[in-house]
Amino acid sequence: MQIKCVKDDVFQSRADLIVIGMYENEDIRNPFLLKADDLLTGRLNRLINVKDFKGTLGESLLFSSSAEIFSEYFLVVGLGKPDVLSYSKLQEAAGLAVQTAKKLGLSSIAMEFFGEDADNFRADETAEAIASACGIANYSFDTYKEKKPQKTITNVIIVGENIRDVRQAQKGIERAQIIVDGVSIARDLVNTPAKDMTPSHLAQAAQEVAQKSQGIIRIKLYDRKECLKKEMNAFLAVSQGSIEPPVFIHLSYKPSGRSKKLVALVGKGVTFDSGGLSLKLGNYMETMKCDMAGAAAVIGTFATLARLKPSLEIHGFIAATENMPSGNAIRPGDVVRASNKTTIEIANTDAEGRLTLADALTQAQKLKPDFVIDLATLTGACMVALGEEISGIMSNRPELAQSLLKSAQESGEQMWELPLFSNYDKLIKSEVADVKNISTVNYGGALTAGLFLQRFIKENQPWAHIDIAGPAFAEREFGSYISKGATGYGVRTLIKWLGSM
């Protein structure tokens, strides 16, 4: 998809679809809307009344164009309340335009530069929001389809009459396209069936990201033997039930100049989760190719670093494995010793992600990073608490949690803070080991999982855990621009957060 910004009259554009926005309850006598109504021979005003169109976010009106407009169709999208035009509102409106064009089989869009009259308008940020939503909405995964879908948009023009700095807007578009590339890589990795996305294949995907960076990103891969030397017994316990060999992946990026901070990103990399001997029910297993979405988010983020060039040293850690049942699989009741010497009673083999993360977090902290962030499709309990579209964040540093929450909001991803309630720590105490991998009660599972991970974080180490079990994989459409399947959740937040430091 080619996206560019021009200073012009959107009504004179020659794209297949012209798109303008309307605020909630906006007066049709507004000069801009009056002009649109005139060009549509009064149909806009009539249809607003007939359809009771208010301009709320998610609403739209579609017209066949008149002779005065050089396009096939004309679309009005709701922008919601005009007080503050947020990043997420811009994305919803732009995504709706792209989805409409795809359904109509169109290939080009001319879109009004939404929000030029808003008090908080910034050409680069607004253009980034619009362009990123267009790219994400245009995504399709058709690798396994013999007949490839043709409904993709090839050109989007963002048209504004009052743009002070087109070059600044274009910078926002260029940044958006880099972000969309990273999100798309993450989505492709998660959407790929588990038989083709084994730990070795995931490691190969990470290698390809490093190779394309032309040396800016480096990678080290550790096999089972090398992981044994590092005493990563919790991770290896999960892997022992599968015939697929585990791989520990370490990606690294260093800036050309002085580094401001050192950041470690840790992604859960269970490429398929059957539950192990604590076998999942069949319908719960159907989407478990997505259990490496945290790892995919880390790889997708690294895919952007060579072009975005943040002034940070960034490391990515992924303990990649399958969780499978076999005669060699770990058993409920077994005890393993993680690489930080903590012993873990495995009460349930389906609580495996936290075992792999225990060793990955320990390895990450050997670099003495300023921050450790882990992303994991960790608990169904987080989905019970927050639903499918919102991730849960837990952190031992309030200021770190707030900075990530702000970055999520500014990038259009939904996130909510959950507590590391220390009184629940007793729920994961074990009679035979230092800690147990599941709670003794049926409630608060997301919180006890966070408390389990905190056992592997040094006291002075700033850390945040993001449970992405809900938003990592959409079993229905999320809003206007995220289709079913992998979402690439976390990439946008991480890029925004890394860029804020």
Active-site residue, from 268, 354, 436, 492: 354
Sequence-ordered alpha helix ranges (H) in 105-212: 123-137, 166-191, 199-212
> Sheet containing 343-345: which strands, arranged edge to edge?
335-337, 343-345, 435-436
Our answer to whether residue 280 is catalytic in this structure is yes
- Region for residue 490 given its phi and psi (left: phi exceeds 0; alpha: psi -120 to 50; beta: otherwise): left
Alpha-carbon span 238 to 322, nearest angstrom: 7
How buried is 14 (Cβ within 10 angstroms: 0-12 exposed, 13-18 middle, 19+ buried)?
exposed
CB 480 within 8 A of CB 137: yes
Active-site residue, from 54, 280, 307, 406: 280
Beta pairing partners, 131: none
Amino acid at site 149? P
Of 410, 481, 414, nearest to 156 by C-alpha is 481
The secondary structure of residue 478, as a DSSP letter, is: B
Alpha-carbon span 345 to 328, nearest angstrom: 17
Angstrom distances, CA of residue 78 to CA of 13, 94, 123, 137, 407: 20, 10, 20, 17, 25
Residue with tokens 């994400």: 136
Catalytic amino acids? Answer: 280, 354
